Amino acid sequence: MHLFGIDTLKLNLAHVAKRLRVFDRQHVNRLVKLAGGVIAAQGAYRACFVEDKGETGVTIEGVHLRSRVLRDHLNAVGRVFPFVMTAGAAVDALMEETTDLLDKYILGEIANHAMRETRRAFESHLCARFALEKISSMTPGSLEDWPIEGQRDLFALLPGVEASIGVRLTDNLLMLPRRSVAGLYFPTEATFVNCQICPRRLCDDRKAPYVEEKARV
């Protein structure tokens, strides 16, 4: 298993303030500095090979991932990269200690911003290390075709991830620390993101428009 970390994560104050529509930049800046001091952006991942592509999904190193959409996008792919990424437990503790509801909300959005920046850095790292020109990703729980139960399969592909970066999956399929994400990266010629097959209209994190034809796969 490979580990990935960012020694100094740069949090864009202007981006956070604009996203939150908050005009008091000094207040946001204080919270950005506070959160930036405790966020530990890191991840764990493996390079795995697809062993079988069946009608209901794919089998990767003995673990069956049940998703027709995933199977379709891995049709011409032999190597994939299951991953788990987190902002760390300290930012969860900071939010729990904060009694002001607005500050708690802002800290949560700062942690979400940190996760987005971590993913961008990880994608660059992955492409550079494995000489990949373009990659896409899918995450269980954000697609009806690949429900949250798929988290168990991903964690099965990453044994020792809790000891490595402190992320565990509860019996209720909740990842702890809360600001954590698990998924699968794969090389591709055309960029694909979950948003293309998610019909939810109101979403601040939407990265691409909904494509109904893709959702029918």
User: Please, what is the average pLDDT of the chain?
Assistant: 85
Residue 63 phi/psi, 5° resolution? -110, 125
Predicted confidence band at 79 (pLDDT cuts at 50, 70, 90)? very high
In whole angstroms, what is the distance from residue 41 CA to residue 142 CA? 22
Range name among 7-16, 18-27, 32-41, 168-177 with the lowest pLDDT average: 7-16
pLDDT tens digit string along 134-175? 999 999 987 788 999 999 999 999 999 999 999 999 999 999
141 Ramachandran zone, left/alpha/beta (phi>0; psi -120 to 50): left
Contact 90, 39 (CB under 8 A): yes
Residue 128 phi/psi, 5° resolution? -70, -45
Contact 41, 118 (CB under 8 A): yes
Beta bridge partners of 80: 48
Q: What is the pLDDT of residue 55?
A: 87
In whole angstroms, what is the distance from residue 197 CA to residue 179 CA? 23
Residue bearing the bigger pLDDT, 11 or 80:
80
**pLDDT surpassing 50 at residue 64:** yes
Tell whether domain 2-215 is in CATH 3.40.109.40. Answer: yes
In whole angstroms, what is the distance from residue 182 CA to residue 185 CA? 10
Contact 98, 14 (CB under 8 A): no
Report CA-CA distances (Å) from 149 to 9, 64, 100: 31, 12, 34
CA angle 170, 81, 212 (to 5 degrees): 85
Best CA proximity match to 154, nearest among 190, 180, 116 = 180
Q: What is the pLDDT of residue 206?
A: 45
Average pLDDT rounded to a whole number, residues 107-125: 91
